[in-house]
Each structure stands twice: as C-alpha cells, then as structure tokens.
Amino acid sequence: MASENPKSRLAVLTLAAVGIVYGDIGTSPLYAMKEVFSAQHGLTLSHSNLLGVVSLIVWSLIVVVSLKYVTLVLRADNHGEGGIMALLSLTLTSVGPLSRWHFPLLVTGMFGAALFFGDGVITPAISVLSAMEGLEVATPTFKPYVVPLTLVLLTGLYMLQKNGTAGIGKWFGPIMLVWFTTLAGMGIVNIIDAPEILAALNPLHALYFLNDNRWVAFVALGAIVLTLTGAEALYADMGHFGRKPVRMAWFFITFPALALNYLGQGGLLLRNPEAVSNPFFQQLGDWSIYPLIVLSTVATIIASQATISGTYSMVKQAIALGFLPRMKIIQTSSKEIGQIYIPLVNWLQWSVVALAVLAFDSSSNLAAAYGIAVTGTMIATTMLSFFVLRYDWKYNLVLCIGATGFFFVIDLAFLSANALKILHGGWFPLLLGGIMFVVMMTWKRGRELVRANLQKHAIPLEDFLASLFTDPPIRVPGLAIFMRGPGDGVPHAMLHNLSHNKVLHERVVFLTVYQHDVPWVPFSERIQINDLGHNCYQLDMHYGFKNTADIPKALELSKEYGFDFNMMETSFFIARQTVIATPGSGMALWRERLFVGMSRNARDAADYYRIPANRVIELGTQVEI
C-alpha cells in the first residue's frame, strides 16, 4: 500500500492540474483556427497553406510550450513557486541589488506582470464569448443574444467568487478531462476522414508556409499565437501542484488532445472549406452543436475561474513584495491556503471584462487584443530566464545565450506580428498593462521615499533606550507592542505615547515584519527575539510572499522562546502615516498624488496583519515626499 499511495497522489494532482492549469490553453481551439484564416489576414485557404498553418500550430505547441515552458522554465522555480512575480524575485536575488541589471530587470518583470493582468481580463471575455458564439452557428437568430448571455454568465461567475471554489473545484479536473477527451475524439474522427492532414506533422510544411507567404504568413503569426495562450498560466500554477503533475498533465493529456483537435480541424477544412467560419462547432455536424455549446461554456467558465484565481494570487504576491498597497484578502478555504478572494480586485476586473465584451463585441475583435498580452509576458519570462540560467544556475554564457536566445527569437516574431494589431485592439492590453505598471512602480517608489524620510529623522533605538532608562518613566501593567519598520529608529507611536501619556508598559516589544523574496518562510524560522534590557525586546517576524501575515498567530510561537503572550493584556501601538505630496526631488507631482491617494485607501496595517481592532491604538504622523 505504501508504494501505491504516492502514485495515487500523483494521479490526483495530475487530474487537478488538468482542470486548473490548462483551462486557458485548452479552450484555444474554440477560436484559434477561425482567426488564422480570418479575412483580415488575407490568408488563402488552400491545401498547402492549411498544411503549413496546422504544422506551425503543432510545432509551436512543441517548441514554445513543451520545450520552453514545460521543460526549461518550470525548472526556474522559486522554492517551488512559479509565475512571473516569483521568477522576478528569483532573478533579482540572483543578480544582486547592486548589479547594473537590477533596475532594468525590475522594469522588465513588472511590465510582464502588468501584461499578465491584461491577460487576466481578456481570457474570461474571449473564452466565454467564443463559446456563446456557437449559438450563431446553430442559428443566426441567436446572434443578438450572444453578448448579453456572455455578460450574464461572467457576472454570475464573479458574484460567486466570494464563496470560493472549494466545493466545486473538485469537479474542474474531471470536467476538463471530458473536454480534452472530446477534443481528441473530434480530432480523430476528422483525421480519419482526411488522413492527408497528418502530413502537417512534418515541420517542413511550416517552413514552406513561412517562405511561400512571407508577409501574409508573418501577419498570420499574430493569430497562431492564440494557440499558446495559457502557457504562462502553467508556470504560474506550478506551486499549487508541483512540477511533475503539471508536466504529466501536459504530455499525456493536454498536448495530445490539442494536437489531435487542430489536426482534425485542418482535416475538416480540407474536406469542407466553408466550415472556416467556425470550424470548431462544425467538426461533428449539426447534431453536435448544442452539446458542444454546453460543454464549451462549462470549459470556458473553468478556464476563466483559473485566470481569476491566478489574478488574486498575483495581487497577493505583489502586495507582499511591496508593489501594491495592502488590500482586504479573504481566505475562502480552511484547507487550501491558496484559495483567496480579494473584493476590490474581483469587481475591478469584472468591470473591465464587461467593458471589453461590450466594446469588442466578438471573439474575433478580442483576438487582436489577446496576442499582445500573451506575447509580452512570454518575452519578459524569456529575458528573466536568461539571468536565472547565468547567475543562479551558473551555466556557461554561450549555453545561456543559445538556450534562451532561440526562444527569444520566436517570442519576438510572435510579438512583432501582434504589434501590427495595436491600432485594431492591441492597444487595450497595453493600456491596461501600462496603468498597472505605473501603479506598481509608483507604489514601490513612494514607499521608498517614505522610508527614506523616516530614516532621515530616525532616532537610534539603542541610544534612546539608554537615555530613557537613566530616568525611567512610570511602568504600568501589560504588554505594549510597537510596530517598527525594517531599519527604522524609535517608533513614532512610542514617542507620542511617552509625550502624551508619560508612562511605559512593564513589557515593551518592538515588532518588525520582514517580507522576503521567497514564497514561504517555515514556522521554525518565523520569529526571532532579542532582549534589549529593561524588559524591552526586539521581535522580528519573517514572511514569504505566499505566506499569510498573521501577527497574533505568530506571537503564539513566541512561547517556545520563553516569551509569554496574552492577547487580553496586550496593546498594539501603530503609527498611521499621513503622506503629503510636495514638489521637489521625489517623483513627478502627479505620481506623488497618485501614491497619496493609494496610501489613504490602503487597508490599515492592523487589519492586514489580523490584529484584533480592540487591541490597537493608532497615533498619527505626517510624512512628506
């Protein structure tokens, strides 16, 4: 039995990975082939072009997904975690803060992350919209109802987020397994009817297609990249399942099903070129349209759910790493720490998704916007991977350039092809990404300015305590905990308390929270206590960007160090900073005002760190930037 248990767990994780990780890329067959032969690309539907396109799709899946992401990038884990934020942290740690590459890599990673947010908006919109467009294939009568039905489904999905996915999440894997089985089955049926499509497995057809069509083929790359959407998600979700289940789900389930279906759609178009208007829903004939609409709708909702959950995870990491202000984060599962709900993010994303559906009106229009978000993040991942290979893994420079340079050229070709669509929808994810980039960089820079201002006027803690206890104040019963930033001097809250109340608690703790560029800090390394004398202590708490910062729970660990803690006898003193924007050498005044606005609306520290409100005393302080 002991030997069967690991295998059973691997099978469960692999099935779960099929449901969560591959929903996005798994729903690409709904719209990808239709977009490649869209009239706006000017690509003629001929026998040679069809073989070339299908060959290019299959080999793009092999090279970009199988080789780049599944084989190479999945190795670049940050203590088991993946995703561009984890990769950015790993990269910056590898090169070091003093490296000339530090800031350019920070900008690259942040812009890639910002585009990932754009991807998170477009995925639900294009996926559900493309599923609903199957109704048009059944009968044109349904055409006016496609957009309203899409909005209803998406609104319902976002309304359910506050309840979490613990109850229904267990069905995601089996449902998506049915989906991929259906994809493979439809593909096989059409391959049997047109076996000559199997010639597309020869990569020479892809090369002939690129050589014979040149400019038109280059333009078509902008649509072929739609078959790769979701590749970044498999890296981002690695931490939930582990590297092996993600790889097994790809090689044994997802890739075979996708390859068979794209080959099958190619075989269908060889026999019936008129089906190019929407080849996915015409693979099995009229009888299958409504069942396929139902199944594809469920599959696209699952794909959208994975994207929404991924956005929450990304936001939580960005907050922990200091790129976004604190927000209200609700844990929706008592068992799965990764299942969270962020109300502000949820409804902001819903409003932008709804706007995208209304503004673009069809999956074809959204497809133009989709490629920029996908390829922008892909190229950022490739660039960061080079520095991990070189500076963290210490590989030979020639090998690093060869390994990542090959993928960089491919990513650049896809990005360049999609750049042609900037005026036709590509501006949308760039706008979203640009806004997120400015917000994140402004928050990071603003916090640096605040910290610099506080440190400039800081009073060294050790010197202050030495002078304080030459003529000690009155000590009162209880424990006082003063929040203190890394590198700060005497907390302002303590100075105000002594100035106004003239007393000091019998036990005083200066609490500093450190956020590290690693996903997890184990409980054994969570706290450190230093005795400063006179019943005063410095308590350091350490968290990774995936940890939930819960100060009361961490304080319970202090008992192991002989430090007794009773919440009912404890008062937390927190200095609430009022930031004031002033013209000068900080940031541009509009950025300072943006930072001030975010600072005022940020979740307060006590709430974020889960400190009971009735144990908190807030004292105000002004900081100019």
**Residues 104-120 pLDDT 10s:** 999 999 999 898 888 88
Residue type, 341: Y
In this predicted structure, the answer to whether residue 606 has a pLDDT above a threshold of 90 is no
Which pLDDT tens digit goes with each residue over 532-573? 988 999 999 999 887 888 899 888 888 777 778 888 889 999
Which pLDDT tens digit goes with each residue over 447-472? 888 888 878 878 898 889 999 988 88
DSSP code for 285: -
Q: How confident is the model at residue 437 (pLDDT cuts 50, 70, 90)?
A: very high
pLDDT for 1 equals 37
How confident is the model over 340-347, as a mean pLDDT?
A: 90
How confident is the model over 413-437, as a mean pLDDT?
A: 91
Pairwise CA distance, residues 558 & 350, whole Å:
42
Are the CB atoms for 231 and 66 separated by under 8 Å?
Answer: no
SS3 string, 367-398, reads: HHHHHHHHHHHHHHHHHHHHHHHHHHCCCCHH
Pairwise CA distance, residues 529 & 507, whole Å:
13
How confident is the model over 45-73, as a mean pLDDT?
A: 94
Pairwise CA distance, residues 324 & 334, whole Å:
25
Structure tokens at 349: 């994303």
- CATH class of the domain defined by 4-425: mainly alpha
Burial 195-231 (b: 16+ CB within 10 A, else e): eebeebeeeebbebbbeebeeebebbbbbbbbbbbbb
Q: Among 139-153, 156-170, 462-476, whose mean pLDDT is lowest?
A: 156-170
Which pLDDT tens digit goes with each residue over 488-530? 888 888 988 888 888 899 999 999 999 887 778 888 888 899 9
pLDDT for 249 equals 93
pLDDT for 3 equals 44
In this predicted structure, the answer to whether residue 619 has a pLDDT above a threshold of 60 is yes
Domain boundaries, the chain: 4-425, 454-624
pLDDT for 20 equals 82
Which pLDDT tens digit goes with each residue over 195-227? 999 999 999 999 999 999 989 999 899 899 999
pLDDT for 279 equals 93
**CA 378-118-594 angle, 5° bins:** 120
For the entire predicted model, the pTM comes to 0.84
Pairwise CA distance, residues 553 & 555, whole Å:
5
